Amino acid sequence: MRPFDQQRILLGVTGGIASYKCAWLARLLTQAGAEVDVILTRAASEFIGAITFEALTGRPVHTALIEPGHALDHIKLARAADAVIVAPATADFLARAVHGHADDLLSACLLATTAPVLLAPAMNDRMWSHPAVTQNVAAARALGYHIIDPDTGPLAVGEGSGPGRMPEPETLMTHLGRVLGMREHSPLRDQHVVVTAGPTREPVDPVRFLSNRSSGRMGVEIAAAAWRRGAKVTLIAGPLEVALPIGVHVVPVETTIEMEAAVRAALPDADVLIMAAAPADFTVDHPAERKLKKRERPDTLTLVSTDDILLSTRDVRRLGSIMVGFALETGNAVAEGTRKLREKDLDLVVINDATEPGAGFGTATNRVTLVDREGRVEPLSLLPKRDVAEVILDRTEARLRGR
């Protein structure tokens, strides 16, 4: 699973109570296709055993800096790694890493590697707020280490709640994916990418609305993938049925007119717009101001067309920006999508048929055809939406390179 497939990850585990979470992190990375080399410090071995990680990764676990037959492990592991993550990173380890200590295998590997390094500090809240730790965190960032701040939540028994808790493995994995993505020097790095996702809801009365079956999954996957590649991402989201992506600035909206206003506000600063949302095409002409009772049921609802967001915001597009639209059809999909590409002045349109099994709304997969401004037609096989998102961003990056 991109970006972890066939990547070599060096996972360093230090001596904190949160070390038990790293067994699940090792499992997630392995399931995503990474080869995971685990280093346990002596203190970490007091909390969790090497055999646990060996069983989860299928690879030997490393513990000693110097032992017969392994004198150069710190060099071999450091050179082989595509990325290094230390979780939990205790206050002691942070101090030794910043000062260049090399008296154990893990700290020696940090000195010997040229791979990106992600540190996940975890400790008591009073330790985390101590000026010495604050200085060490700042110094680690100055050295080029990536730091993910700890969460606020329950600490060790009797210590209450506060900042210092190690983020969950899924969160660590997401941040590690961004570290890997940024290492590839993506053209999206530091670019402002605006993505829309989900349906809109057009009110009938204060409790009822018109909407559609969009879950928002496709747009969320695109936003998450763009963030992993180093972009600054704004997600303009209607009501979603999926979790919000980590690291992404979210602008929640309800109606089509609200989504249009949010897109209009974001576009002057946007390098890329990917319109993956499914805004309603119609709204009720005069929504009722109070809940309609059954006995008051109207014989008809008068519908009026909403603005086409891609068309209505053409005047505020940034010069040279990349515009990507979606066309969900139920017949003659490619022809209709191509018409929309020309009509809305798009660089790329993503077309799919809502009636095809496994595609469209409410599924984890999608089968799409990409058509670009030059008329190239690229049909894709049925793929997980996460993979579709990666292909869309690959094609977007290609256009960014050619600007």
CATH number at residue 245: 3.40.50.10300
Q: Give residues with Cβ within 8 angstroms of 20, minimum separation 6.
A: 47, 48
Going by C-alpha positions, the residue among 250, 255, 160, 248 that lies closest to residue 200 is 255
Note the pLDDT of residue 9. 98
Give the H or E element holding residue 53.
helix 50-57
- Per-residue tokens: 32: 């995503």
* Total tally of structural domains belonging to the chain: 2
Say if 179 falls within a structural domain. yes
Same domain as 175, residue 221: no
Same domain as 366, residue 223: yes
Same domain as 148, residue 245: no
Say if 244 falls within a structural domain. yes
Say if 246 falls within a structural domain. yes
**Residue from 124, 136, 212, 366 carrying the catalytic annotation:** 212
Note the pLDDT of residue 299. 84
Strand ranges (DSSP E) for 206-357? 209-210, 232-237, 249-252, 272-275, 282-284, 303-305, 322-329, 348-353
Note the pLDDT of residue 55. 96
CB burial of residue 52 (10 Å; 0-12, 13-18, 19+): middle
Same domain as 369, residue 224: yes
Same domain as 244, residue 156: no
136 as an active site residue: the answer is no
Say if 1 falls within a structural domain. no
Question: Long-range CB contacts (< 8 A, 24+ apart) of 69-75?
Answer: 73/105, 74/102, 74/105, 74/108, 74/109, 74/112, 75/112
Same domain as 279, residue 171: no
* Rounded Cα–Cα distance for residues 84 and 119 (Å): 8
Same domain as 245, residue 164: no
Same domain as 116, residue 227: no
Residue 179, domain CATH: 3.40.50.1950
Residue keyed to tokens 């996972």 = 11
Where is the domain boundary, 183, 208, 234? 183
φ and ψ at residue 323, rounded to 5 degrees: -115, 125
- Per-residue tokens: 345: 């002045």
| 82 touches 180 (CB < 8 A) | yes
Same domain as 253, residue 141: no
> How many other CB atoms sit within 10 Å of the CB of residue 126?
13
φ and ψ at residue 73, rounded to 5 degrees: -60, -40
Note the pLDDT of residue 34. 96
Say if 3 falls within a structural domain. no
Beta bridge partners of 352: 328
Say if 2 falls within a structural domain. no
Same domain as 383, residue 305: yes
Where is the domain boundary, 130, 148, 183? 183
The predicted model scores a pTM of: 0.88
Residues of the chain short of pLDDT 50, as ranges, are none
Note the pLDDT of residue 397. 95
Say if 72 falls within a structural domain. yes
* Rounded Cα–Cα distance for residues 246 and 227 (Å): 8
Beta bridge partners of 39: 12, 62
| 275 touches 193 (CB < 8 A) | no
Same domain as 177, residue 198: no
Say if 68 falls within a structural domain. yes
* Rounded Cα–Cα distance for residues 403 and 394 (Å): 15
Where is the domain boundary, 183, 217, 240? 183
* Rounded Cα–Cα distance for residues 45 and 42 (Å): 5
Going by C-alpha positions, the residue among 73, 107, 64 that lies closest to residue 89 is 107
Supply the range of the domain harboring residue 45.
Answer: 8-183
* Rounded Cα–Cα distance for residues 169 and 148 (Å): 12
Q: Give me the amino acid identity at 312.
A: S
Give the 3-state secondary structure of 350-363. EEEECCCCCCCCCC
Same domain as 199, residue 176: no
| 182 touches 118 (CB < 8 A) | no
